[in-house]
Structures are given as C-alpha cells and as structure tokens.
Amino acid sequence: MLLSGKLSGKDFVGYVVAQVTGALAGSGVLYAIIHSTGKAVTGLGQNGFGAGYGIGITAFMAIIVEVILTFVFIYTIFGVTSKDSNSAVAGLVIGLTLAFVHILGIGLTGTSVNPARSIGPAIWLGGTALSQVWVFIIAPFVGAALAGWTYAVLNKRAER
C-alpha cells in the first residue's frame, strides 16, 4: 500500500509498529499460557526451514515459497479492494485466500506472508526462530512489492 501510494510513510510506520506490537503481545500471551503448564515452550507458531522444521526445505526454497505465497495474497487484496462494488465480498475473498495460502505453506515454512506475524514468535523463542526470521521479513516484502508492481502493470494494460 505504501508503494502504491495508498498509505503515507507516516501511516506505514504506525502500521508496522502496531503490527509488531500486536504480534509480540499475542505471542507473549501464548508463551505465558504454555509456560504456566510447566512445559517447555518450544513452539509459538514460529516460521522456519531446514532440518527439523516442516519438510526441511532450504533457506532459498523458503524464500521462494514466501515470495510466491505473499504475492498471491497481496495481489488478491489489490484486486478485490480496487473497486467499491467488491466491498460486499472483499473480506470473504481475502480471508479465503489467506486460508488457501496457509494450507499450502504451513508444512513448508509455517507460512508468514506478514513479517510482524513472524517477528513476535521469533523474539519470544530466540534461537533458530530468531536466526531465521530474516527470511520471513525480506521475502514477504519482496512478494508484496512484486504483487503491487504486477497489479499496476496489468491493470494499466487492461484500461487501454
């Protein structure tokens, strides 16, 4: 939304701060719940790759997966929110697309498509989750930028 001009720099920063704060709070509550049982906290829905995570894909493949899944999700958001006439179904389409993206990605990377969603658990867990979080920050930004650019290019052509 920042790259498309629908969000100012100031609003973007506020949005990022709110997202990360929410992710930290949500992960913190989950951490507290698990910790209260006396069991070791080993999982908060963190993302990952490599041996011992999902099917064990490489970092490079995790980047590819996250770029593609984020692209699909963000392209859908651009498409469904571009016309006021879509407002009655926008939430349903966006929600179903997010569910679809997670169904495809959970076994591969845990599905990020939102850096804040990955930062929260990584900070609480540390270790491997924190050392791998860079993939789940960079790849969604790349996928989102590609979706925005592709949407703009394809819709300029469609208007001709």
55-93 pLDDT tens trace: 999 999 999 999 999 999 999 999 998 888 888 899 999
Q: What is the pLDDT of residues 89-132, one digit of tens each?
A: 999 999 999 999 999 999 999 999 999 999 999 999 999 999 99
The whole-number pLDDT of residue 21 equals: 97
Task: State residue 157's pLDDT score.
Answer: 62
The structural domains of the chain, ordered by start, are 9-159 (1.20.1080.10)
Dihedral angle, C-alpha 144, 148, 154, 157, nearest 10 °: -170
Interhelix angle 135-159/115-125, nearest 10 degrees: 180
Residues 6+ apart with CB under 8 A from 86: 80, 93
Q: What is the DSSP letter of 84?
A: G
Q: Pick the most confident of 3-7, 83-87, 155-159.
A: 83-87
Contact present, 50 and 59 (Cβ < 8 Å): yes
User: Considering the entire predicted model, what is its pTM?
Assistant: 0.90
Alpha helix locations (H) across the chain?
9-36, 59-81, 87-105, 115-125, 127-132, 135-159
